[in-house]
Amino acid sequence: MTIVHHLSDQLLMAHAAGQLPEAFGLLVATHVSLCDECRIRLEAFEAVGGALLDRCDSVPVDEARLEACLARIGGLAPEPRPAPVPPRARPLFPAPLDAYVGGDLDKVRWRPVGMGVRQAVLRTGRGATARLLYIPAGQAVPDHGHRGLELTLVLQGAFRDESDRFGPGDVEIADPSVKHTPVAEAGADCICLAATDAPLRFTGLIPKLAQPFVRI
């Protein structure tokens, strides 16, 4: 897997401090499980956090103390860590995602969004929404803008939009300045994990009408 588009330092730092909403944390953990580069950067940020804590606390810092201390600094409850899952033969979903779906692709309860696109909203805490998206090869997702932050991690296939091409393991970071029409490449159907902290802003009338029903 050749990953071209990575997580930003801000996202990795916020994740290290347990400050991301659960849906973003899930996406970060899933990308990090696929990407050595981001795993090394995340470990560096976690080490910096640990060193800061060591300086104000002379007793050894264990995992639980670190969590609790970071939670106090962030003013938030510690982010739930997905339970480890034993490896299986060629799963599509990395372990952090597998824990939320309760298995691999065959366990996903898809709902149609229109034009062959399907989604499955995952159960996460408040503040952001995580969903799996299934985009048939060659199909476009309705063009839309963003009120907040949208992270999209490709698990299978690839998509292109106005900015670039995103293949397996790549993350697209879209903020309110981005308006795009992602199109799945021909060949394999595209499966993505997407996390958003605000509803998307659709340009066309039909998706706008459907929006309250599909929670996109």
Please give the residue ranges that form the binding site for Zn ion (CB under 5 A).
6, 35, 37-38, 150, 174
Instruction: Classify residue 182 by its DSSP letter.
Output: -
CA neighbours closer than 13 Å in the CB half-sphere of residue 40: 4
Output 27 or 35, the one with its CB closest to Zn ion: 35
To 10 degrees, what angle do helices 36-55 and 9-16 make?
50
Helix (H) or strand (E) segment spanning residue 191: strand 190-196
Distances (CA, A) of 92 to 32, 71, 89, 96, 98: 15, 32, 9, 12, 9
Q: How far is the CB of 100 from Zn ion (least distance, A)?
A: 20
Q: How far is the CB of 45 from Zn ion (least distance, A)?
A: 13
Output 42 or 66, the one with its CB closest to Zn ion: 42
The residues with which 160 forms a beta bridge, in sequence order, are 165, 183
Q: How far is the CB of 107 from Zn ion (least distance, A)?
A: 26
Output 65 or 163, the one with its CB closest to Zn ion: 163
Q: Which residue has the tokens 């995340």?
A: 42
Output 53 or 95, the one with its CB closest to Zn ion: 95
Q: How far is the CB of 30 from Zn ion (least distance, A)?
A: 11
SS3 174: strand
Residue at 194: amino acid letter: A
Output 22 or 150, the one with its CB closest to Zn ion: 150
Q: How far is the CB of 36 from Zn ion (least distance, A)?
A: 8
Output 158 or 174, the one with its CB closest to Zn ion: 174
Q: How far is the CB of 31 from Zn ion (least distance, A)?
A: 6
**Starting from the edge strand earliest in sequence, which strands make up the sheet with 129-135, in order?**
111-114, 117-122, 129-135, 190-196, 150-156, 171-174
Both structure tokens of 80: 């739930």
